[in-house]
Structure 1
């Protein structure tokens, strides 16, 4: 617009001043080295205007030519982007459908022109992982790192891959870094919980449990059960590392609420029995059946080997009077009587247990005792009924 205005102004000026200068043509001399150009003022003005018009024409031509080139470039670039989007979408669908070979090819090849190269490389890495090609998987993860500054997402993906392959140490290392960056990240917390369980890192899992509860990643009952499982794991580790004394010291420092949990009483009882400290196990187990007689504790009581079973018999007799009738309680009582050498009482207790809830093991033990007593026909009936129950 400005150029056109200048041109119009020059023409108008020529129309106004042309007649005046026509009578006095003037003189223009241009010297360039050994060359000189002589002309009148009017001719110089005309030549200048024509030269300016030539420049405008050249500019217009260049603008049109470059404009066409730019349009061609933008069209080609847009075509590549559209194709990349289409292939990325197809690759993601292939990944969801389990077609990992095509998923890898489509997402990796379209990553260069994709709007989301990070997602392309992560999807390609997952497809390679599913095909068992760890080398390609790691290459795609490296390319993802080079094409994005989102190291957190890449690290989380890598940790998931390690977990799938059972590489728990590597997963632990990656997740620890992520946890330091974002302690409240729910996916990191969940994966850390799984990793700690696989590595038997029970104390770390116990320390993580409040965060899992606060994040709402576990239902209340599930969180309570995980806590009990964690303590049972700690008992097992302490038994190996510190023996019976260390295990009992840890137990005594626990809260009353936890020490009243039947599963924990049974767990520490089993570890003490494994360490051949049956007396210490007996004390904890008998304290555990003062208010109830859970099957888990009774099952561990049956494993005790003592020089004198009278305290155990007395506790179980008390339980038979206080608690509802229980086949497990009768069976435990029968075993204690048998170990103490009281055959008649053991037979009666086994019969009471079978009457409450028929059990193949109880039938077998009763059959052996009856056979020892010479009651062969009844013993054979017990063996038959026990065998039928075991095959049912």
Structure 2
């Protein structure tokens, strides 16, 4: 369009000059150093036009020569970027198809020419990780950070994810703590941090970030409940081993109500109470739970309780027997409670019923101990042998030999 306008302008100018010269041709006289030249104005105009045209194209040629190196560099850079784009696509395909060495080589070689070097370096780091080349992985991550400092969060997330996958849990924690300083509450960062705490079994730190995990919906509801449950179970085990009842009680109050009635978690709570010698609290807690839901593990733990009032516990357990007359675990616990109350005949009766319904190593051990106390050494030895044989069969996985086993009171 611009060329057409210039052409029309020049054409109009030429027509105008032609009309002027037609009215008065005139002439021009030029003299220099004894030389003189005379010509018509029309001829002078033609020479001037030709001269200006030559000068214009000469200047354009000179400008093109001066710009040629820059144009060559720009062309080469453009070619390299096109090659880098093709290499990025090819590298991603190689990575997806399992050609990790080829992917790393392709992406790492063309990263500096790429319009997105960050992606090249991050994907190359993953390819190196999949080959077990963790030093090269770290070099790519360092290059990614130096190339794009504004993408520090993305680099740290990738680094932490790869470190976790490689089992470098402590390194991953250090990376994620730095990430939390730069971007507190980052959703994916919190997810990785939770996994890292699980890996190093730092349940106290995991407990601290549980509110953030819930508030930001970092995990699906089912997965979140599993994490919470596992965290509180491990914390109960740790606090129980510390031997402080007040710490266990304080922790239990922090357990969400929706989780408190879950069997596994409640059992760990009872065991933690027993580990801190809070026998009476454990006794009340077991009785409270069994009012609403029957659980044979808690029944066995109830029979293993020490101290307090064993006669009261025996009466309570016999009340349960009316509703669960064929429960071998309850019968075993009743036998133990009878032993504590020195009701030897009744204890033997309950043991016989329990072993008839479901033979168990614990039941035979309890029977052997009772017979030994009663002076029936041969029968006691037989009971011990039967319990040992049953335990061995269970260890090798024979069918029909699964039953709960808890330590017997001594």
Taking structure 2 as the reference length, what is the TM-score of the superposition?
0.73
Establish whether residue 217 from structure 1 lines up as the match of residue 252 from structure 2.
no
Partner of 2:273: 272
Establish whether residue 327 from structure 1 lines up as the match of residue 341 from structure 2.
no
Cα offsets for 1:55-94 (capped at 9, x unmatched): 3443675798899999976765554334323332332233
Cα offsets for 1:258-280 (capped at 9, x unmatched): 55444343222222332334344
Partner of 2:319: 318
3-state SS of the aligned residue for 2:124?
A: helix
For 1:339 and 1:37, locate their aligned partners in 2 and report how far apart those are by CA, in whole Å. 144
**Residues 81, 54 of structure 1: CA spacing in aligned structure 2 closer, same or farther, 3 A cutoff?**
same
3-state SS of the aligned residue for 2:348?
A: helix
Establish whether residue 208 from structure 1 lines up as the match of residue 209 from structure 2.
no
Match of 1:25 among 24, 27, 30: 27
Deviation at 1:111, TM superposition (A): 1.6
Q: Once structures 1 and 2 are overlaid, which stretch shifts more, 136-145 or 118-127? A: 136-145
RMSD: 4.1
Taking structure 1 as the reference length, what is the TM-score of the superposition?
0.76
Deviation at 1:123, TM superposition (A): 0.8
Partner of 2:393: 388
**Residues 257, 63 of structure 1: CA spacing in aligned structure 2 closer, same or farther, 3 A cutoff?**
closer
Q: Once structures 1 and 2 are overlaid, which stretch shifts more, 234-243 or 59-68? A: 59-68
User: Aligned residues, how many?
Assistant: 381
For 1:277 and 1:127, locate their aligned partners in 2 and report how far apart those are by CA, in whole Å. 55
3-state SS of the aligned residue for 1:283?
A: helix
Contact 2:336–2:347 at 8 Å: present in 1 too?
yes
Deviation at 1:37, TM superposition (A): 8.8
**Residues 119, 89 of structure 1: CA spacing in aligned structure 2 closer, same or farther, 3 A cutoff?**
same
Partner of 1:353: 354
Contact 2:153–2:179 at 8 Å: present in 1 too?
no
For 1:254 and 1:106, locate their aligned partners in 2 and report how far apart those are by CA, in whole Å. 52
**Residues 110, 256 of structure 1: CA spacing in aligned structure 2 closer, same or farther, 3 A cutoff?**
closer
Partner of 2:285: 284
Q: Once structures 1 and 2 are overlaid, which stretch shifts more, 82-91 or 240-249? A: 240-249
Cα offsets for 1:179-221 (capped at 9, x unmatched): 6364xx3x34432332343421243243235336x566132xx
Partner of 1:124: 124
Establish whether residue 199 from structure 1 lines up as the match of residue 202 from structure 2.
yes
Q: Once structures 1 and 2 are overlaid, which stretch shifts more, 106-115 or 6-15? A: 6-15
Partner of 1:180: 184
Partner of 2:169: 166
Q: Once structures 1 and 2 are overlaid, which stretch shifts more, 85-94 or 237-246? A: 237-246
For 2:148 and 2:206, locate their aligned partners in 1 and report how far apart those are by CA, in whole Å. 38
Deviation at 1:122, TM superposition (A): 0.7
For 2:34 and 2:211, locate their aligned partners in 1 and report how far apart those are by CA, in whole Å. 96
Deviation at 1:323, TM superposition (A): 3.7
Q: Once structures 1 and 2 are overlaid, which stretch shifts more, 12-21 or 229-238? A: 12-21
Contact 1:354–1:363 at 8 Å: present in 2 too?
yes
Partner of 1:86: 86
**Residues 160, 216 of structure 1: CA spacing in aligned structure 2 closer, same or farther, 3 A cutoff?**
closer
For 2:246 and 2:71, locate their aligned partners in 1 and report how far apart those are by CA, in whole Å. 83
Contact 1:156–1:178 at 8 Å: present in 2 too?
no
**Residues 127, 303 of structure 1: CA spacing in aligned structure 2 closer, same or farther, 3 A cutoff?**
farther
3-state SS of the aligned residue for 1:289?
A: helix
Deviation at 1:321, TM superposition (A): 2.0
Q: Once structures 1 and 2 are overlaid, which stretch shifts more, 240-249 or 101-110? A: 240-249
For 1:255 and 1:47, locate their aligned partners in 2 and report how far apart those are by CA, in whole Å. 99
For 2:31 and 2:240, locate their aligned partners in 1 and report how far apart those are by CA, in whole Å. 112
Unpaired stretches in structure 2, ≥5 consecutive residues: 399-410
Contact 1:28–1:44 at 8 Å: present in 2 too?
no
For 2:74 and 2:125, locate their aligned partners in 1 and report how far apart those are by CA, in whole Å. 31
For 2:67 and 2:185, locate their aligned partners in 1 and report how far apart those are by CA, in whole Å. 49
- Superposed, 1:96-111 pairs within 5 Å as 96-111=96-111
For 2:356 and 2:280, locate their aligned partners in 1 and report how far apart those are by CA, in whole Å. 32
Unpaired stretches in structure 1, ≥5 consecutive residues: none
Contact 1:121–1:143 at 8 Å: present in 2 too?
yes
